[in-house]
């Protein structure tokens, strides 16, 4: 009897296994077809050129690539939360996604400034290389572990301008007592040169400069500065942007929300963020010179080079500021050591590649060639 019952038992076991597979398949299909609605908060005015349009492109890409299974509503600074509260909003789950710059969170994680902009540090090309192939992004995520967010690099400004001033700067003495909007490590350097640093989101810059609440400001570069109309509030436009050889923008993602997404939607999100990382930088490269020509030729802005003594003192103070930040914690030390080691190597190669090519292209120092 036992022998006769064995085929029946095997058949029943097989049928049960098959049914479980079907149920599992249905569960997977149901998860794959589930729709997700996310909110994305940013530190920028809604649809602002370059940095503000990157999040909009991200939203469009994700919706198209996911066939509508993941949609992201983008909020500009102040629409859902203030621009300087983006990190907290993503950390506490008010929004699933944020787009900003990490030096705004120096009060929470001082070493985050290494991932935004380091005075006289690496440019966008070099930063992307460090983040992707030098261990930078892993250190960035380690820094944010305690806040319940993941981070991906999501755009870059390229080398910025040195700032707008309502008076000529001919020496370090001319900086003394100025009130200036400049975030991050660059702001700390300027404070050691006698400048009173004022922090504010981008949307407040124009009225503050026009009203005299500040005497000078840096923002990003000609493309964005023209859009803000900063030429209507200050006459003198200085270069180079020693304080921000680039700003790397960040996409911060709530860890719990990310874990709820199926694997394919997670991959789509990461791919779309990678796309805007390049496209934002490309847009700035394409638009900045046209905007600069408009500022100089149509609006008669005075384009000036920062005096050598100012640059020399800024370089000296920058070394101190960066060294002090590196000593602020064990993780900050590791981040700085990784950053510095990568910069030393890439600078050596760029000396005989990028920089040598620029010198060969412009042998007389004519930047118009």
Cite the annotated binding site for substrate by residue number. Answer: 160, 181, 218, 244
Q: At 186, phi and psi to the nearest 5?
A: -60, -40
Q: How far is it, in rounded angstroms, from Cα 137 to Cα 143?
A: 10
Question: Which distant-in-sequence residues (6+ apart) come within 8 Å of 55 by Cβ?
Answer: 40, 42, 44, 74, 99, 276
Contact 258, 85 (CB under 8 A): no
Q: Which two tokens stand for residue 172?
A: 């370090």
Detail the DSSP E strand segments found in 116-258: 149-156, 163-165, 179-181, 196-197, 216-217, 236-239, 248-254
Q: Which residues contact 333 (CB under 8 A, 6 or more apart)?
A: 326, 327
Euclidean distance between CA atoms 319 and 244, whole angstroms: 14
State the pairing for strand pair 97-101/36-42.
parallel
- Note whether 180 and 163 are within 8 A (CB): yes
Pick out the residues of the known binding site: 160, 181, 218-219, 244
Feature table: binding site for Na(+): 219
**Rg of the chain in Å (alpha carbons):** 25
Tokens of 31: 């998860």
Task: Tell which residue, 248, 98, 230, 83, has the closest CA to residue 160.
Answer: 248
Provide the token pair at 289.
Answer: 């010179």
Q: What angle do CA 101, 187, 127 make, to 5 degrees?
A: 45
Q: Which of 199, 163, 193 is nearest to 176 (CA)?
A: 193
CB within 8 A of 54, min separation 6: which ones? 99, 154, 155, 249, 276, 279, 280
Which residue matches tokens 């930040």? Answer: 325
Are the C-beta atoms of 200 and 181 separated by less than 8 Å? yes
CA distance 309 to 155: 32
């Amino acid at each position: 009897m036992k022998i006769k019952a064995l085929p029946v038992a095997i058949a029943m076991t097989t049928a049960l296994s098959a049914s479980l597979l079907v149920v599992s398949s249905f569960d997977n299909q149901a998860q794959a077809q589930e729709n997700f609605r996310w909110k994305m908060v940013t530190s920028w005015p809604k649809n602002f050129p370059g940095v503000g349009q990157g999040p909009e492109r991200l939203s469009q890409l994700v919706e198209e690539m996911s066939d509508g299974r993941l949609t992201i509503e983008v909020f500009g600074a102040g629409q859902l939360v203030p621009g300087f509260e983006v990190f907290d909003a993503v950390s506490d789950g008010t929004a699933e996604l944020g787009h900003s710059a990490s030096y705004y969170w120096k009060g929470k994680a001082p070493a985050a400034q290494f991932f935004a902009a380091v005075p006289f540090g690496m440019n966008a090309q070099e930063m992307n290389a460090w983040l992707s192939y030098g261990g930078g992004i892993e250190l960035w995520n380690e820094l944010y572990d305690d806040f319940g967010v993941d981070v991906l690099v999501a755009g870059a400004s390229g080398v910025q301008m040195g700032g707008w001033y309502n008076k000529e700067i001919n020496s370090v003495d001319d900086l003394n007592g100025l009130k200036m909007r400049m975030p991050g490590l660059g702001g700390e350097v300027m404070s050691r040169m006698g400048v009173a640093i004022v922090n504010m989101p981008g949307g407040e810059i124009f009225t503050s400069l026009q009203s005299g609440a500040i005497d000078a400001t840096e923002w990003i570069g000609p493309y964005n500065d023209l859009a803000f109309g900063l030429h209507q509030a200050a006459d003198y436009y200085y270069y180079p942007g020693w304080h921000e050889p680039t700003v790397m923008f960040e996409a911060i993602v709530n860890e719990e929300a990310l874990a709820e997404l199926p694997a394919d939607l997670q991959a789509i999100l990461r791919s779309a963020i990678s796309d805007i990382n390049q496209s934002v930088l490309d847009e700035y490269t394409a638009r900045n010179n046209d905007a600069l020509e408009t500022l100089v030729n149509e609006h008669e802005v005075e384009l000036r080079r920062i005096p050598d003594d100012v640059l020399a003192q800024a370089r000296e103070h920058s070394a101190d500021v960066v060294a002090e930040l590196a000593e602020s914690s064990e993780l900050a030390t590791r981040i700085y050591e990784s950053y510095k080691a990568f910069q030393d190597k890439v600078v050596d190669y760029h000396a005989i590649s990028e920089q040598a090519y620029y010198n060969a292209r412009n042998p007389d120092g004519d930047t118009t060639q």
